[in-house]
Amino acid sequence: LNPDGVELGNQRTDLLGQNLNRVYGSATPKQHPAVFAVQAACACAHRAQGGVRLYLDFKAHSQKKGAFLLGDAATDASQAASRLFGYALGRRCGIFEYEQCNFADRAVGSGKSWAARTVGAELSFTLESNYCRGHHSPEVLTPRHWKLLGSACLRALLDLDLLERPPASPKLSEDRIVGLPEAAAWFRATCCREKSNRAPQPPRPRGPSRALPHFAIVRESSPDFAPSPWLQR
């Protein structure tokens, strides 16, 4: 949406020096034609389809590694739905890092915040990705990885659709949504109870899971444990 600014080497601003991700809701066709067109397209889909199913804008991040979501969930229900989408995306994409997500990152004038409050997009996100790499792998990120990330977003959305509206044949969705019903119930309960600090325990994955990874603990010397001499050299 900002080819002119990017051509000049600007990461966030256009030719007029304006941050285009802070003018949603006030964009004009003369000063912000790209943003104005996005708003018109979303508003048209909202009127014709009764709401926008998923709003995503993609951005590069120069500091935080990996790929992660920033959302604008203002209610418990939208918070649970946003977290469930992130969980489903983590199952589909190896470079996505759920732990770095913030599903209540409201930024006035941003695309995700505008969409969440204007066109009924319960799933409204900025998908950020580092220019170079993530924490899960030393492999350098390339356009191929970002294409896979975009494809994984659609696959995750399809998984949620299958969860909400199961097909006539249960076998068709059985493998795709395994574990999602439990995760959905946990996120709903967690978002409702977070204010009282009585959140339930997360669901136990049946096997290795990118969405709920378990890492080994590196222990130091203690009364009941002594590291191998080979590690102390």
What are the tens digits of pLDDT across the range 16-43? 899 999 999 999 999 999 999 999 999 9
DSSP-derived secondary structure for the chain = --HHHHHTT-SSB-TTS-BGGG-TTT--TTT-HHHHHHHHHHHHHHHHHSS-SEEEEEEEESSS-SEEEEEB--SHHHHHHHHHHHHHHHHH-TTB-GGG-BTB---TT-HHHHHHHHS--SEEEEEEEESS--SS-SSPP-HHHHHHHHHHHHHHHHHHHHHHS--SSHHHHHTTSTTHHHHHHHHHHHHHHGGGT-PPPPPPPSS--SSS---------BTTB---GGGG-
Q: Are 3 and 18 in contact (CB under 8 A)?
A: no
Residue whose C-alpha is closest to residue 88's, from 173, 191, 179, 190: 179
CA dist 107 to 41, 66, 112, 152, Å? 21, 21, 8, 25
Q: Per-residue confidence at 85, pLDDT binned at 50, 70, 90?
A: very high
Q: Per-residue confidence at 4, pLDDT binned at 50, 70, 90?
A: confident
Angle between the N-to-C axes of helices 76-92 and 180-193, in degrees from 0 to 180, rounded to the nearest 10: 140
pLDDT at 206: 54
As a whole number, mean pLDDT of residues 190-205 equals 59
What are the tens digits of pLDDT across the range 94-134? 899 999 999 999 999 999 999 999 988 899 999 999 988 88
What are the tens digits of pLDDT across the range 135-186? 888 889 999 999 999 999 999 999 999 888 877 655 555 567 778 888 898 8
